[in-house]
Amino acid sequence: MKKNSRANVTVSACGIFAEPTFKSEMVSQAVLDEQVVISDKKDDWCKVELQHDGYSGWMHDMYLEKNRENFNSEEIQNRFLKNPIVAQASRMLGKPYLWGGRSFQGYDCSGLVQTSLNCCGVDFPRDARDQVESDLLHEIEIKNAATGDLLFFEDRKIVNHVAIVVANEYLINKKKYCLKIIHASGSVKISEIIFDSSFYGVVDGRQKKRIKLYKIMRLKEDV
């Protein structure tokens, strides 16, 4: 683990200590999948700060897994902090894709969305085909898509993928919308999709990986 990097806790609970030794006072605990920021390193110990409350102390690195995503973008970091749904989803970045998964072992696309919303106090359906029909959502146009909205994709009118919007930009020179998303595909990661006028999206610049947008949905204000 390196200084100024992020990591996730890989066990159900582990101690945070006043000094880099198990013999020192345990000042708090971190729990499974909790994200920490590493500010210092000494042998096998990391000086960590908990993201949700800023509490700090020393944790042994055997309980941590490096977050593999790139957090260099200040814009992305700010969006993680300001939107609770995106903030929760960002804690899972770097986790492997797992069909049917919704834990530290891995996530599928709808499991990631359900878990992120559950952590925000929203009871939400498990599967993408049920999520898109939820009474908690209402449909919006692509030009209005914003941080925390949900993108649903289709194959022959069957919903087959869901993602969370991080950012939306209109490319004037191309007359296309470019959306940054968090989703589970191969792993939980950030991707960029550029949509054409037929709402087919090219993922991360790969022309052969095109997906069809079905609907963009937003949580209702009274949820």
Give the domain CATH number at 27: 2.30.30.40
pTM (2 decimals)? 0.68
pLDDT per residue as tens digits for the range 14-72? 899 999 999 999 989 887 767 788 999 999 999 999 876 788 999 999 988 876 444 44
SS (H, E, C) the chain: CCCCEEEEECCCEEEEECCCCCCCCEEEEEECCCEEEEEEEECCEEEEEECCCCCEEEEEHHHEEECCCCCCCHHHHHHHHHCHHHHHHHCCCCCEECCCCEECCEECHHHHHHHHHHCCCCCCCCCHHHHCCCCCEEEECHHHCCCCCEEEEEECCEEEEEEEEEEEEEECCCCEEEEEEEEEECEEEEEEEEECCCCEEEECCEEEEEEEEEEEEEECCCC
pLDDT per residue as tens digits for the range 4-21? 678 878 777 889 999 999
Domain boundary among 20, 50, 66: 66
Cα–Cα dist 70/174, whole Å = 26
Residue 23 sits in the same domain as residue 122? no
Residue 158 sits in the same domain as residue 83? yes
**Domain encompassing residue 18:** 5-66
Domain boundary among 43, 66, 89: 66
Residue 168 sits in the same domain as residue 106? yes
Residue 147 sits in the same domain as residue 96? yes
Residue 128 sits in the same domain as residue 204? yes
Number of domains into which the chain is organized: 2
Residue 62 sits in the same domain as residue 79? no
